[in-house]
Amino acid sequence: MTQMASLAGAGLAGLQQLLAPSAEGTDTPVSEAPVDDQLRLLAVLTPILRTLLDTIAGSVTTSPVRATLLALLTEDVARLIGRAQIVAAGKIEDSDAHTLKEAPLAELHRIHANLTGFIEGTASLPADQCNGQGTKMLFRDATEMVKDQLHLSFSQSKQRLATRDLLLPRAGFNGVPVAPRFPRLSTVFNNGSADPAQVAQAAQRLLALQPGIDAQTCPEEAAELIEGQVAESLLTRNAIGTGNLLKSISARLDAQALERGESRMQPHLGLSFKSRQARGYIWEMCTDLAGHERLSKLADQLANPRSGFGKAKNAPSTPDTETNDGGQPPLPGFPDDGPAPAAPTIPAWAIDPDVPEDQRPRAGFTDVGREFSMPEPAPELVALPGESTAEARQRAKARALLQFLFDSMRYGADGDGKDAPAMPLKPNVDLIVTISWDSLVGKLNDPGITARNNLVSAGYVRRLACTANIIPAVLGSKSEPLDLGRKQRFFSRAQRRAMLLRDKGCINPGCTMAAHRCEANHIKPWYLGGETNLSNGGLLCPVCHASFHAGHFRIEVVDAIPYVLQSVARDPEQRLRRNWVFHPEAESLA
């Protein structure tokens, strides 16, 4: 027996002695004690746990280390309880508890309402009295009893019992042991290493994918591989990452599903007036994936305080690194060609004298050669009465999008000139879809993926290609761009487009920032000899970009693909990972 198990056994034995100090045979293990005594221990653990958690929460005030450990331990308790809820629901079904008569059930509720007598041993549990076959039951089945007695919805009750069948071993109707449907997920569920609710949801979605798995050439191998990928995702990713993985697997198993969904959208597309209300005239827009992608990208760029999009052309704004033709704003005073002038040095008192001259930092810290200046402040956000900051920000974003749509109507329909000073600056709302050549020409039917990580059917991409400008990019077997980019100080527009195709967003695992909101970063800094090519570049959002330069994580390039090695605190396994939000099927590297 391990030391942890010994401590747990000793603690339970001590509680057992406190509850029955005069009982004989106190050395008997709790597992061999009568079940009623075990239930008394469980009943007393609830107030103990509540008191302990409240006491610790009151004591942890200024220590971030202890506050973090409290959160981790509390999450462990929550996961343990989540699993116990599934186990308990299964025991109701196994014991045919729904056949209980009204008298013992009413007595149970009386005892549960006041557990003191039961804990102290002065109140005993009622005897099992059940209705016989053919008589009127209080509950139709276990699902109805769990719903009624635990105050759940019907779907919650049904889901708990279904989860038990998928993830826990049980006895069949003839007493023969039945193994869990998904053994790999069962291991994750039972050891408490992932949220039980997420594991249960993943098991349900895997079950829904079974027809597609059965249609594969080797269903058993496919099922084992997919279950292993989902189990690994539950251990290393959050719900978004696991959801993206399952969505990708579903599209791969049933290539026609996206096509059917897109066909169902077509009759409903349009913009129509609904009603006039006190808050304004209400119009309803229904669009397809292409419209959703463009509107979402447009809304993000309009809400970006660093961008000049949507503002008058003569309005001051901070240079936007995302849309400049060169991929980065030009440095003040730098000529278009020829050697760059030397950047100003920082004061001698700010330099370690042991640092060689060519390795000393320049003015502006990470902006080589550029004088430091504060960006233009974002316009003040005014919240309405009763409105939160997040709601005010969303309202401002929606209003900016509406205004830009009307400005675009003026530009396209009213004949305003291209250079009219009152017109706002135009954003970059290109729809970028990555799809294999074989799927584009009809040899395969694998789906494409948009810049915002939405899957799109091959048929839709083919129809879109009839009316859209196509920029071909040759990708290698591991999605590394092969024929884009050139050597220069700043990444070109073509190179940034190639990074978008490869990275699809911020490369830091777990970050959800879309590619058009990211910055092209030199993995090995340019001022330290790093080249401006794709194998030395990666997309990082502004926050992760600052974290990278602060040394919070490292980037390593493997086969022209950037992988991130996070700190030990973020990733105890210390494995190279791609961002699983945008690359759900990418495997980690040792």
Q: Please write the tens of the pLDDT for every residue from 87-122.
A: 999 999 989 999 999 999 999 999 999 888 888 888
CA distances to 139, 155, 163 from 158, rounded to whole Å, are: 14, 5, 9
pLDDT band at 376 (very low <50, low <70, confident <90, very high): very low
* Same-domain check for residues 48 and 137: yes
Same domain, 242 and 137: no
- pTM given for the model: 0.61
Q: Of 269 and 250, which is predicted with more confidence? A: 250
How far from the centroid of its chain's Cα atoms is residue 164's Cα? 25
Higher pLDDT, 291 or 235: 235
In terms of domains, do 10 and 138 share one? no
Task: Report how far apart the first and last C-alpha atoms of the chain are (Å, whole number).
Answer: 33
* The pLDDT of residue 335: 42
Confirm whether 272 is domain-assigned.
no
Residues 43 and 138 in one domain: yes
Place of tokens 């849309």: 323
Q: Among candidates 450, 53, 488, which has minimal Cα distance to 258?
A: 450
Residue 379 lies in a domain: no
Q: What is the pLDDT of residue 160?
A: 93
- CA–CA gap between residue 340 and residue 325 (Å, rounded): 20
Q: Are residues 38 and 145 part of one domain?
A: yes
Tell me what percent of the residues of the chain surpass a pLDDT of 90: 24
Looking at the fold, whether 41 and 175 belong to one and the same domain comes out as: yes
Last residue of one domain, picked from the residues 254, 279, 299: 254
- Is 378:389 a contact under the CB 8 Å cutoff? no
Q: Do both 169 and 199 map to the same domain?
A: no
Q: Are residues 149 and 201 in the same domain?
A: no
- Residue 16 is assigned to a structural domain of this protein: yes
Q: Are residues 204 and 176 in the same domain?
A: no
Q: Name the residue range of residue 247's domain.
A: 190-254
Based on the structure, what is the number of domains in the chain?
4
- The answer to whether 183 touches 199, Cβ cutoff 8 Å, is no
Residue 419 covered by a domain: no
Last residue of a domain, one of 125, 150, 180: 180
Region 255-276: mean pLDDT is: 76
Task: Look at residue 554 and tell me if it is in a domain.
Answer: yes
Token duo for residue 164: 């038990």
Residues 45 and 170 in one domain: yes
The per-residue pLDDT for 294 is 77
Last residue of a domain, one of 201, 236, 254: 254
Answer whether residue 534 is part of any domain. yes
CA pair distance 237, 509, nearest whole angstrom: 9
Q: Give the DSSP letter of residue 378.
A: P
Q: Say yes or no: 172 and 234 in one domain.
A: no
Say if residue 138 is in the same domain as residue 62. yes
Q: Is residue 123 part of a domain?
A: yes
Task: Evaluate if residue 368 carries a pLDDT over 60.
Answer: no
Is residue 572, in this structure, part of any structural domain at all?
no
